[in-house]
């Protein structure tokens, strides 16, 4: 196995995990993704009782909150989720799908949020904007053509209880109860890959390890 210190670009660091470097990185993420006046308001609501849970990780919340209840990576995750960048129909008209496939995941996400529902135009190899009524009609046409037992519904693990409830009502109205959970969808690769690499299909960390 390659020594981590021998990897180009990685050097030994014995300083704190936070500090000025983390603040600079957070400020840069805010500068490139959000309006400066909005960012402090959003970040101050992160992991607060009247705010929202940070999308960065599953670190448990403390009973007593502090003013800055987020880390560098959490701040970056929030700024990417709340970015003010927008990808308009004009962008897709000027870029073919073939050209988009040559871009990295980072480059694509850095373009911003979609503003319209899109359909693929095979003749021009581009995505074309359509009205919402048209988009829903197309989706409904595909769903109605499928036998209910062949349809599987899966949504974000971070969806609210209210949104998840409505989503499952929609699926049951279609005639299916195929709702795979996170263990089926997200961690199936884990259960296959980990035994091949370390011999066990789950994490090996225990609470006692933190005392060592």
Instruction: Please report the pLDDT score of residue 2 as a whole number.
Output: 47
Q: Which residue(s) pair with 119 in the sheet?
A: 128
Does position 205 have pLDDT exceeding 90, yes or no?
Answer: no
Alpha-helical regions (H) of the chain: 20-33, 39-44, 72-81, 89-94, 97-100, 105-109, 132-144, 161-174, 182-185, 188-197
Residues 6+ apart with CB under 8 A from 135: 117, 119
What pLDDT digit, counting tens, does each position of 156-179 carry?
777 788 988 999 999 999 999 988
- CA pair distance 70, 82, nearest whole angstrom: 15
Contact 59, 47 (CB under 8 A): no
pLDDT digits (tens, 9 = 90+) for 14-49: 777 778 888 888 888 888 888 777 788 888 888 888
pLDDT single digits (tens) 118-141 = 999 999 999 999 999 999 999 999
Who has greater pLDDT, 208 or 186?
208
Does position 7 have pLDDT exceeding 70, yes or no? Answer: no
CA atoms within 13 A on the CB side of 62: 8
Mean per-residue pLDDT of the chain = 86
Q: What is the mean pLDDT of residues 197-206?
A: 83
Query: How many residues would you count in the chain?
Result: 212
Predicted confidence at residue 129, as pLDDT, reads 97
Q: What number is the average pLDDT over the span 78-98? A: 93
Is this model's pTM higher than 0.95 or not? Answer: no
∠ Cα 12 21 110 (to 5°): 105
d(CA 70, CA 72): 7
Could you tell me whether strands 118-121 and 126-129 are parallel, antiparallel, or unpaired per DSSP bridges? Answer: antiparallel
> Looking at the predicted structure, is the pLDDT value of residue 1 above 70?
no
Query: Distance (Å, rounded) from C-alpha 178 to C-alpha 154?
Result: 9
Cβ atoms of 79 and 73 closer than 8 Å: no
Res 196 pLDDT > 80? yes
């Amino acid at each position: 196995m390659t020594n981590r210190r021998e990897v180009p670009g990685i050097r030994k660091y014995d300083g704190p995990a936070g500090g000025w470097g983390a603040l600079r990185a957070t400020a840069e993420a805010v500068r490139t993704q959000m309006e400066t006046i909005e960012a402090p308001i959003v970040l101050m609501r992160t992991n607060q009782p009247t705010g929202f849970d940070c999308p960065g990780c599953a670190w448990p919340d403390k009973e007593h909150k502090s003013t800055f209840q987020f880390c560098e990576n959490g701040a970056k995750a929030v700024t990417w989720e709340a970015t003010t960048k927008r990808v308009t129909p004009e962008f897709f008209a000027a870029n073919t799908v073939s050209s988009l496939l040559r871009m990295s995941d980072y480059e694509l996400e850095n373009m911003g949020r979609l503003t319209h529902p899109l359909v693929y135009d095979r003749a021009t190899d581009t995505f074309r904007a359509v009205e919402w009524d048209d988009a829903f009609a197309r989706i409904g046409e595909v769903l109605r053509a499928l036998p209910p037992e062949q349809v599987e519904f899966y949504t974000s693990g971070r969806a609210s209880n209210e949104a998840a409830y409505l989503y499952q009502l929609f699926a049951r109205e279609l005639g299916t109860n195929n709702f795979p959970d996170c263990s089926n969808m997200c961690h199936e690769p884990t259960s296959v890959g980990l035994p091949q690499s370390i011999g066990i299909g789950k994490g090996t960390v225990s609470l006692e390890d933190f005392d060592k």
